[in-house]
Amino acid sequence: MRKQGAIAGMAVTVVAAMAAAGIFVFAGRGSDAAAQSSLTVNVPPPVNDRIYASPIARGRPIVVIDAGHGGRDPGAISVSGQVREKELTLSLARALRDELVKRGRVRVAMTRDQDDYLTLDDRAAVPRRLNAAMFVSIHVDSAPNPLARGASVYSLSDVASDAEAARLAARENADADRGPRSGTVDSMLADLAMRSQMSASADFATRLVGKAAGRVELRPNPHRFAAFHVLRRADTPAVLFEAGYLSNVDDEVMLREPVARSKMVLALAQAIEADVAARSRR
């Protein structure tokens, strides 16, 4: 009996380990039935909570950088067909991380540091878990008009600034998980917190436009706003930075050029540091 109990315990341990790994086997009668009815479920990799920082940045505020798209979601495709948005956003995100770490004024986390697919809620959960001071989501746009070009900065608003902003938000919100609304009191408190978050996000967007002007090609009226799910769920000041248009030949050339990207990264880094410092003094 003692031996049988030990074997049974081992079996339970193996099954638990398989369940934790996301491997489930459903067995019918006989080995052939078991083979035919087996099913393997691949659990997606966890989002990245690693903190990047220089030794002098110990205890400094955390900024989360989100490289848009990834994995099975390539994002926009360039005019040449040679570049995908998910690759450019990751390159920009890594460069921004490295620049911020080198400067030592903030600590940095990334939602992804490789070619992973993440839902919007996966991305927004990272700044909430880390109690981040800021969330910056990096994207590259595409438009039916091939002449449209230049970078833009989007902050959160219940009402879109223009039709293009509304269309972009609808496209980016496609896989959003819209959960049930909370009770009246909770909703009122959440709305008050959201208004403060929107105001801080708009302030940062204005600061970023100021830092980018003269260094980076900007769209007319570059600060725009719309109801982006990932910004709303971040629970911290947050912006969505569109680095340019892959549907524009000149922007594609610019975005593929490391020197041009480095100017963009520097403007982002300086705006992030200035905004975090300004809010920490309040």
Could you tell me the CATH number of the domain that includes residue 196? 3.40.630.40
Q: Within 10 A of 60 (CB to CB), how many other CB atoms are there?
A: 18
Residue 16 in domain: yes
CB hemisphere CA count around 163 (13 angstroms):
1
Tell me the pLDDT band of 28, cut-offs 50, 70 and 90. Answer: very low
Find out whether 197 and 156 touch, Cβ atoms under 8 Å.
yes
- Is residue 138 located within the same domain as residue 235? yes
Number of domains in the chain: 2
Residue 60 in domain: yes
Section 43-51 average pLDDT: 68
- Is residue 65 located within the same domain as residue 159? yes
- Cα(first)–Cα(last) distance of the chain, in Å? 69
Q: Name the maximum alpha-carbon separation found in the chain.
A: 80
pLDDT at residue 179, rounded to an integer: 54
pLDDT at residue 47, rounded to an integer: 60
Q: Is 58 exposed, middle or buried (0-12, 13-18, 19+ CB in 10 A)?
A: exposed
pLDDT at residue 67, rounded to an integer: 98
In this prediction the pTM is 0.80
Reduce the DSSP state of residue 110 to 3 states and report it: strand
201's tokens: 């996000």
- Is residue 105 located within the same domain as residue 182? yes
pLDDT at residue 36, rounded to an integer: 47
Query: What is the C-alpha to C-alpha distance for residues 142 and 168, in angstroms, rounded to an integer?
Result: 9
Find out whether 155 and 135 touch, Cβ atoms under 8 Å.
no
Reply yes or no on whether the pLDDT at 266 is more than 60.
Answer: yes
- Is residue 20 located within the same domain as residue 82? no
pLDDT at residue 175, rounded to an integer: 73
Residue 45 in domain: no
- Is residue 109 located within the same domain as residue 161? yes
Which residues 6+ apart lie within 8 Å of 258 measured at CB? Answer: none
- Is residue 105 located within the same domain as residue 142? yes
Q: Within 10 A of 83 (CB to CB), how many other CB atoms are there?
A: 19
pLDDT at residue 177, rounded to an integer: 64
- Is residue 34 located within the same domain as residue 173? no
Residue 46 in domain: no
Sequence-ordered alpha helix ranges (H) in 51-183: 85-103, 120-130, 163-172
270's tokens: 């300086």
Q: Which domain holds residue 221?
A: 51-280
